[in-house]
Amino acid sequence: MNSDLQKLQPYPFEKLRLLKEGCHPPVALDHIALSIGEPRHPTPAFITEAVLSHLHGLSAYPLTKGAPKLRETICSWLSTRFQLPKDSLDPGHHVLPVNGTREALFAFAQTIVDRSQPNPLVLMPNPFYQIYEGAAFLAGARPEFLNCTEDTGLMPDFDAVDAKTWEDCQLLYLCSPHNPTGAVIPETTLAQLMELAHRHDFVIAADECYSEIYFNEDEPPVGLLQAAANVGNDSYSRCVVFHSLSKRSNAPGLRSGFVAGDREVLGQFLRYRTYHGCAMPPHHQAASIMAWQDEKHVEESRRAYQEKFAAVLGILDGQLTVRQPEAGFYLWAQTPGSDTEFARQLYDRQNVTV
């Protein structure tokens, strides 16, 4: 067996299951599940209909690279959303569809990490999406955690990272807007990280899956490709972004996203994925094209999240230390004591899972 498998932590939901053992929540209270980042807004009907109306294409193998129309649509969306220079994205080389960003974020490390080098590091924010850590271990690297604290605005303190760590870094995972704090990395910081990536020879993997859930329509979160273009890096060298329809379009079951950026890096990622067996089904591609072309349902979803935040923050006022995040759909509350004991007691007494 691959000995690196023994380094994998139990997944958070397994830890949560064990934490709740022995609890007996009141049966008179309906269970409220707040433990998984799963949208409760319905998937737009036009996306569902697109899946159903394209099932006739199942007799053909889909391309790992994805249909040209899908790649063109994604490039168009990226260029509009992040104000990228006209024609700076080549649909044939700068973008790859993926079956949800979870599998892509994991597979990406397997492509990037050179395990023949001494002490390969994969840097990541903490708290973090556990896929980043597992990807590092199974790529033969060591994860290095950059704590996100109140003192640093719930973002990593990149200035505190020493030169040796940057020199050993082969891959830097970013998450902005951050899961679960909702913090957004400023454009100036993204520019600083790009300079470090070129100086120390590493790749930036920016998980931007929450980029479309924000609360000021005039100030959408900045993206890594946007920051790259604004400093003249319109080849997007060492910059790769990950986007998904799971949160943007309330369609986690569609398993549809994309990776975009540095064409040389994506060329090697495509080479890996050709063996990985991960081509997106044709009916999912057809539905994805329609989803990326429509902004109305995304705007409606943002309005619904704003209403939900307003309602719940009113309820929690005076009960927990918490504030509305910059973006995303999580509340990162300060608990009165141990967070694990808080979660256990909340379930045991109120039938609420967090």
Using one digit for the tens of pLDDT, what is the confidence trace for 159-168?
999 999 999 9
The answer on 173 and 203 residing in a single domain is yes
Domain span at residue 247?
46-296
Dist CA 148 CA 276 (whole Å)? 33
Give the domain CATH number at 252: 3.40.640.10
Nearest alpha-carbon partner for 261 in 121, 115, 84: 84
Whole-prediction pTM: 0.96
The answer on 348 and 272 residing in a single domain is no
**Residues of the chain with confidence (pLDDT) below 50:** none
Q: What is the DSSP string of 77-146?
A: HHHHHTTPPTT-S-TTTSEEEESSHHHHHHHHHHHH--TTSSS-EEEEEES--HHHHHHHHHTT-EEEEE
The answer on 58 and 29 residing in a single domain is no
From 296, 314, 331, the end of a domain falls on 296
Residue 271's region, left for phi above 0, alpha for psi from -120 to 50, else beta, is: alpha
Give the domain CATH number at 302: 3.90.1150.10
The answer on 338 and 309 residing in a single domain is yes
The answer on 189 and 65 residing in a single domain is yes
The answer on 154 and 172 residing in a single domain is yes
Residue with tokens 């994969």: 122
The pLDDT assigned to 57 comes to 87
The answer on 271 and 252 residing in a single domain is yes
The answer on 213 and 64 residing in a single domain is yes
CA angle (88 as vertex; 254, 174 as ends), nearest 5: 55
The answer on 129 and 213 residing in a single domain is yes
The answer on 334 and 254 residing in a single domain is no
Tally of structural domains, the chain: 2
The pLDDT assigned to 277 comes to 87
From 281, 296, 311, the end of a domain falls on 296
Dist CA 73 CA 70 (whole Å)? 5
The answer on 70 and 21 residing in a single domain is no
The answer on 271 and 198 residing in a single domain is yes
The two tokens of residue 319 are 């009960």
The pLDDT assigned to 37 comes to 84
The pLDDT assigned to 36 comes to 86
Nearest alpha-carbon partner for 240 in 193, 190, 204, 290: 204
